[in-house]
Structure 1
């Protein structure tokens, strides 16, 4: 924020100076003596024709190829033009054309571009940063400085010396057809501050700036490209509004001013464009404001000036008015001839000509053209689309999001278990990224209809409607208004439903609604880029804080500066690794490992998610559901979590009871379950059992007892193909087990002998026992308990037991081709045989989910028990269960949670905190959380498909190798 203070101070101090105070020449280089020597030397060696030629900057489209280049080459040869403004095309074509044209020039050409929001304003295959109106919502000028700096880097890399930016027009008029989103807003002080920050960012990379469009193009409904706008304001109004930003940028060293084609009677007596007015340019800008930088005309082929006189005469008038560079003359040969004639006839003096030409040469020196080097073509595309752009762009979009209405504090959306949410899309452009991100938080259904009545009928099934208004994001001039039908539909939806409106259009679109009285919340993303959609969706659910302020007034209801501050509610957000102190480049190593995993058939595919500080920074889906490669893994693919069930289903319920005082770590099985009072397990307590220190057997292969002794297949004694009263436990497709066998399982466990040695031995049996206890205590299924207590409040809609009850089979990855018991492909049914024999609902296995939902549950633990504004556990509870009570060289486990190894072999990379915890699963799953580095790591695969004997994923240490890379990626 230091730069913010310095900019504000500069504006305040600058405003105290006399208008006649001497201004430093912004074109002066670090070594003015050497600069002057070079300028004087070059000027003395120029002919009159060459001097006049320096005044012209011609335009060229690299997209038009050789014919356009040849025309420009002729202007360089015959008329010695001093500069080029590149327009539409591509960076590679422009760079090559630039190098060839520079070779033809006696004095290196000054190159300019309109790159207000980046080179993408004119070029394909280049980066587009947010428009100024979006930046205007940001409250931190340091971020706007970074935007200017990054855009300048791109300009410099492409050999552009002058970026015709920033736009400092004060956009008071919502109907302005040409400025609009190109303006920072309507608050004079704020936009001045923001423009200075942007300008200083450009200057930090030695790219020259240009404040435009002097004396101010913001409060008009006319496009100067088509006709001459008329600004009928008093001088007092102009001084306090339109002219203020220009004065302040002059005091802060703006390299140039571009003069617009405007009719401003208060500044000039004659009814001519300001770009041709001596009163505006010489008397006001150069004399009164003491401006010494370059002065550009706006393009002289625009109708706002071109209709005023003949080509050549217009150029002469512009030069005599005080302009230094004549931008995009309609006819350079005619203009060159007319200026030369005026010189010969002493209508233009040598002193006047030298004044402008030497300023142009000063600018060339400052831009480094005294040591001109051609553009390096190698790596150009990569340099212009570097990863650092994404990092900056992300932060800009996040900080711009603005909440202008929030009745009843509806945002962020909470109490997800009580919400049934619909999404309705308005506008012509896609809202795909928005909807996809909404669904990362909870189930949000897109509702479509052919008529309003049909839509309203469908929406009766929902108690919250999110409406997205998506317009074309190609450029700032695209249509942003609602159609008449959309306005009617939105009004009626809001009249009958609780509505959140997310606008991805120019903010003025809200004025077009006439009334927003029934809309509960309005949140602005300003642009319809994919990232803006993702970020607004995150803000709606509290994954991000909201800090933006409205840069313009939207009628009386929403004045400039409106903006509710919205704090995060400890839900996951999604973004770049750099935003949480990690290096993206390291994650490419993870990509390689995953690709190698699929190639070598360690697993058909996988989901991998990495989060730090509550932000998901890596979310990758690789491979396919099977080696047949018919269905690729997506974020909505669902995996059998295997033993992750223990810490994501059973353990949370136990912790909840611990917190309520229903049980404690010393509670014995005899106290929990009546049937255990007379068993050999009566005195086993919760702590030793969940620490795997209770002498329980590691595993009991229950299914073997159901095999036919002769065929070694599932016995008809226990199974039927159809469900009936006696066979009501489904273990697989068309495979139903005897209902009473559930009691047999429990009795087998109860009667099982204890191991003789009192030491650590991992066992599934505690979770069979706890499932029995919990279901008996609550008189509900574990499946229902976990949904109600955890998954629904978390918005973990992909998580749960018995996935075929909620999802299509094709969405679930198969876990094995079972040829030894079930004799079928196991898909949608739990892989673990013991859990299958419990109807798919086991305490140790049976849970299905995707990586994103698993991360939510792990984040609850990492957050100290909170998520989405709800407290599920106290931090002390998590600490109690995350403690190793029997730790020695052989024991590492906490109470339910696995812990890092004490030696060299174990479940982790061995490179993370001993406070970390997690679990792994037989099917190739893994979830780990580290409170010290605030990292959540989730790995889901079906490595057991088609054969559980495939242990390559384990022997190659894929999961822990990835974990090591995660820690290697940490910067701070």
Structure 2
């Protein structure tokens, strides 16, 4: 059951307000202390069985061969629980079920799952480390994480999590706690520890806070020796002990006792805190009033074994107030010693009974009296639930902490002014961080491997001289302090060598590492991501470009420059975010299954050799996927960075942004005769035709003119006066790789348009002719030619660096998706040359066709339209003008068109899917366009949906209508709306 977040936060605030007064909240399992099952079970147990219930033994699910040994220990000693260490989820579930079969009393299955099952399991879910969580300001996410970890552990058959860490880490050199702590602020630690624990316990798993009385200010690892905490009582009560007292008041179920030497609480220098009655019984149980389960840290750690053997340590631990002992090195010796201590009245039978009763009550709370085995079926799928992935992404995102931001550099603005090099320090190969930055802008990648030579560093610095911004990812770091957190001394030299450049530095690791990278404090922007994985790398890159907010706060003091709670807030700027469907309220499996099915149907029926689908909802790209190959020969798989011929999508991405901008600036009147802007139409039958009529395809123009056929000889050959096979003098209009046109022929084609016969009636007739003319009026209106104006005013500011005419001038052949094998005009496979014959004869630069680009770059343009002209923090187009251009202009004439934009069929929502265009559920505010080559794009401002479908359906020939016959594009489009409805209904 999901608990409403507002109610939860209110409840938790009440809990915190009561903390520190008296222990009003007790662990839930205590209500079963006198349950009939507990009573009857205890009555039937022998003293040996009661003692056995107080021990937890260790298991490794990666080693199934030792299962027989575990079974023997369970049968011989009647142990109370199992602590699982490294392994896999399936193995652990299998071994758990085997062990439970051989135990008379169901076993407590425990784990150290500090940031989820993945803390121990190779294939388990893994959330951010606690230091990263300490930076988060939206605390409800911590509860959500705790609840999910509880669900995952229950699914695995785990009942107790030895987490969260409640230590206040204020020692940068701490070798064992450090990044495992929520940080240095005791209040932050308390709040987040309790939210984590509360979420887990609400999911039915006992939370155990550790390591009492506080392991945060140590330089020694208690696994290896006995650390000493030298502080006085006042300091201990306000820092180290404070979280444990507050958690005891709040109702946490368990506490783990640490092996520490604390002179202010225990004068014996050789007595670990875990074995001290003064610290456990007097302080934790009596003074703090903690009635929950008290468990020792591993009794095999040197902090204990250095001074005591297994038997003496076990007796001392139980006598000190612990209820259960974890990983005793010699179990037989320990149990024998406890039995002897009972006989010698060092420990009373009542004490053992009470501890055993507590363990049984916990098992009853966990419903182990009705034990059910962990189901193996669908275990992996259940643990891989995308909902868990979303929480992990949101936690990483909200932990991002910005420590420097000189001149408000982030989020990056004016992309058209930036020459960016993205440098990954510590990595040899291209990183996820680099690849994500390339989604926003054309950038260059550089790498400097770990332990590079000075020569390699010098060569890199030289290669970076021509860039005005460096984005540097610091990779391959260690979370722990050993070897200076994994920093490379060469990085300091890199910082010096590039100090003249404006830099954005991203530390993908522990913020304490900043102390070992001199010069990094001088970078213009410094972003901390706390960990290195694909998610943190991608989110850090997105934050730099403004796709997400940055609001994390440093949870520790790093040095005199970077202090506790430092962190600059930066608001996102409406650029596209790249995430998973769940962030838009959509089920990943449902969306992908249906899109995959339709895409693969097209491949199977040979509607196209390959296709690409991009879907964004609410500014979030939630699916971008390629299917198939460039051709039916299947020599090259289709990839996201392949460039498509957009065909008629050029109409809404070429002339339209110019006209919308000029209209918004009152420099273009849609209702003046087009001849006012295009003088050749004056004194013709087209003189009074308006731009509005042309854009709405209601100007009575012919649908097209076959210019190339009009340039044939009577025998069907291309006229030599018009076309040459090479670029001879005067023949500099490149039509294809082996065909060049006489530049003077452009005037002949314009004359053909001018002199073309108008249709007899005013009605909707789709026509390219008017769009062919818009490039010719751009220079008079803007002072720049059509192509350069588009590039400098729109494409570069948007970061749409692949969008271009005549892409063969800029990109290698292998980047292009072939369109058609043209065996009638250009006599070649068209690849990188515009397919549309008219656009080709206008030099590949036209208003009806000619643009190429990636789906990702088209998405930027369409998202800008969806956001009514705003993108990347800039208002590129007037919102009122976009509203005007995207409304139906002549509905009474059965004309669905906007101004240049296509619109849904009139009464589209009343139609069946096979009759609708595009999707049935596309709102009346939606708009887009399709392209003859098999391209399609549509946005819906009302539903915040963006859809792009790319295919080369005309390869190898245009005589292929299967894309339309199968209704693939409207069907895919409808899947998005279906997914939204399904997602919302399941919330």
Q: Give the secondary-structure state (helix, strand or coil) at the position aligned to 1:461.
A: coil
Report the CA distance between 1:477 and its aligned residue: 8.6
Give the counterpart of 1:918 among 917, 928, 945: 928
Q: Give the secondary-structure state (helix, strand or coil) at the position aligned to 1:257.
A: strand
**CA distances 1:624-662 after superposition (whole Å, capped 9, x unpaired):** 111121221222111000000000011111112212222
**CA distances 1:88-133 after superposition (whole Å, capped 9, x unpaired):** 1111111111111111111111110010111111112211111111
Tell whether the 8 Å contact from 2:612 to 2:626 is kept in structure 1 after alignment: yes
**CA distances 1:59-88 after superposition (whole Å, capped 9, x unpaired):** 01111112x111111111111111100111
Tell whether the 8 Å contact from 1:481 to 1:512 is kept in structure 2 after alignment: no
Q: Distance in 1 between matches of 2:784 and 2:267?
A: 87
Residue in structure 2 matched with residue 268 of structure 1 by the alignment: 266
Tell whether the 8 Å contact from 2:426 to 2:447 is kept in structure 1 after alignment: no
Q: CA RMSD, aligned part only?
A: 1.8
Residue in structure 1 matched with residue 423 of structure 2 by the alignment: 424
Tell whether the 8 Å contact from 1:278 to 1:321 is kept in structure 2 after alignment: yes
Q: Distance in 2 between matches of 1:862 and 1:528?
A: 34
Residue in structure 1 matched with residue 111 of structure 2 by the alignment: 113
Report the CA distance between 1:883 and its aligned residue: 2.1
Give the counterpart of 2:239 among 238, 241, 248: 241
Tell whether the 8 Å contact from 2:807 to 2:852 is kept in structure 1 after alignment: yes
Q: Give the secondary-structure state (helix, strand or coil) at the position aligned to 1:62.
A: coil
Residue in structure 1 matched with residue 704 of structure 2 by the alignment: 699
Residue in structure 2 matched with residue 281 of structure 1 by the alignment: 280
Runs of 4+ aligned structure 1 residues displaced above 6 Å come to: 473-479
Length, aligned pairs only: 963
Pair 119,448 (structure 1): closer, same or farther in 2 beyond 3 Å: closer
Tell whether the 8 Å contact from 2:429 to 2:447 is kept in structure 1 after alignment: no
Q: Distance in 2 between matches of 1:939 and 1:354?
A: 69
Residue in structure 1 matched with residue 607 of structure 2 by the alignment: 602
TM-score computed with the length of structure 2 as normaliser? 0.95
* Structure 2 residue 306 is matched with structure 1 residue 307: yes
Residue in structure 2 matched with residue 879 of structure 1 by the alignment: 883
* Structure 2 residue 634 is matched with structure 1 residue 632: no
Q: Distance in 2 between matches of 1:431 and 1:443?
A: 15
Q: Distance in 1 between matches of 2:918 and 2:178?
A: 54
Report the CA distance between 1:424 and its aligned residue: 1.1
Tell whether the 8 Å contact from 2:505 to 2:520 is kept in structure 1 after alignment: no
Residue in structure 2 matched with residue 758 of structure 1 by the alignment: 762
Residue in structure 2 matched with residue 497 of structure 1 by the alignment: 501
- The gaps in structure 1 that reach 5 residues or longer are none
Q: Give the secondary-structure state (helix, strand or coil) at the position aligned to 2:62.
A: helix
Q: Distance in 2 between matches of 1:460 and 1:429?
A: 21
Q: Give the secondary-structure state (helix, strand or coil) at the position aligned to 2:801.
A: coil
Residue in structure 1 matched with residue 97 of structure 2 by the alignment: 99
**CA distances 1:792-830 after superposition (whole Å, capped 9, x unpaired):** 010001111111121111011011111111111100000
* Structure 2 residue 373 is matched with structure 1 residue 384: no
Q: Distance in 2 between matches of 1:58 and 1:881?
A: 72
Q: Distance in 2 between matches of 1:282 and 1:432?
A: 52
Give the counterpart of 1:908 among 918, 932, 936: 918
Q: Give the secondary-structure state (helix, strand or coil) at the position aligned to 1:552.
A: coil
**CA distances 1:904-957 after superposition (whole Å, capped 9, x unpaired):** 446312321111111100001111111111111111111111111111111111
Q: Give the secondary-structure state (helix, strand or coil) at the position aligned to 2:125.
A: coil
Tell whether the 8 Å contact from 1:178 to 1:477 is kept in structure 2 after alignment: no
**CA distances 1:247-268 after superposition (whole Å, capped 9, x unpaired):** 1111111111100111111110
Q: Distance in 2 between matches of 1:603 and 1:181?
A: 51
TM-score computed with the length of structure 1 as normaliser? 0.97
Report the CA distance between 1:619 and its aligned residue: 1.1
Q: Distance in 1 between matches of 2:25 and 2:961?
A: 75
- The gaps in structure 2 that reach 5 residues or longer are 449-454
| 1:316-355 correspondence to structure 2 within 5 Å | 316-355=315-354
Report the CA distance between 1:491 and its aligned residue: 3.3
Pair 360,28 (structure 1): closer, same or farther in 2 beyond 3 Å: same
* Structure 2 residue 481 is matched with structure 1 residue 471: no
Tell whether the 8 Å contact from 2:137 to 2:552 is kept in structure 1 after alignment: yes
Q: Distance in 1 between matches of 2:887 and 2:736?
A: 38
Give the counterpart of 1:788 among 784, 788, 792: 792
**CA distances 1:14-37 after superposition (whole Å, capped 9, x unpaired):** 1233xxx576354324xx48x522
Tell whether the 8 Å contact from 1:586 to 1:968 is kept in structure 2 after alignment: no
| 1:31-180 correspondence to structure 2 within 5 Å | 32=32, 36-66=35-65, 68-180=66-178
Residue in structure 1 matched with residue 493 of structure 2 by the alignment: 488
Report the CA distance between 1:486 and its aligned residue: 1.6
Pair 555,6 (structure 1): closer, same or farther in 2 beyond 3 Å: farther
Q: Distance in 1 between matches of 2:479 and 2:374?
A: 28
Q: Distance in 2 between matches of 1:581 and 1:108?
A: 40
Q: Give the secondary-structure state (helix, strand or coil) at the position aligned to 1:451.
A: helix
**CA distances 1:713-761 after superposition (whole Å, capped 9, x unpaired):** 4343322222122210001112111111111111110110100111110
* Structure 2 residue 619 is matched with structure 1 residue 617: no
**CA distances 1:326-352 after superposition (whole Å, capped 9, x unpaired):** 100001011111111111222221111
Q: Give the secondary-structure state (helix, strand or coil) at the position aligned to 1:209.
A: strand
Q: Distance in 1 between matches of 2:875 and 2:891?
A: 30
**CA distances 1:403-427 after superposition (whole Å, capped 9, x unpaired):** 1111110000000000000011112
Pair 479,516 (structure 1): closer, same or farther in 2 beyond 3 Å: closer
Q: Distance in 2 between matches of 1:472 and 1:955?
A: 54
Is the deviation greater in 814-823 or in 315-324?
A: 315-324
Q: Distance in 2 between matches of 1:776 and 1:496?
A: 42
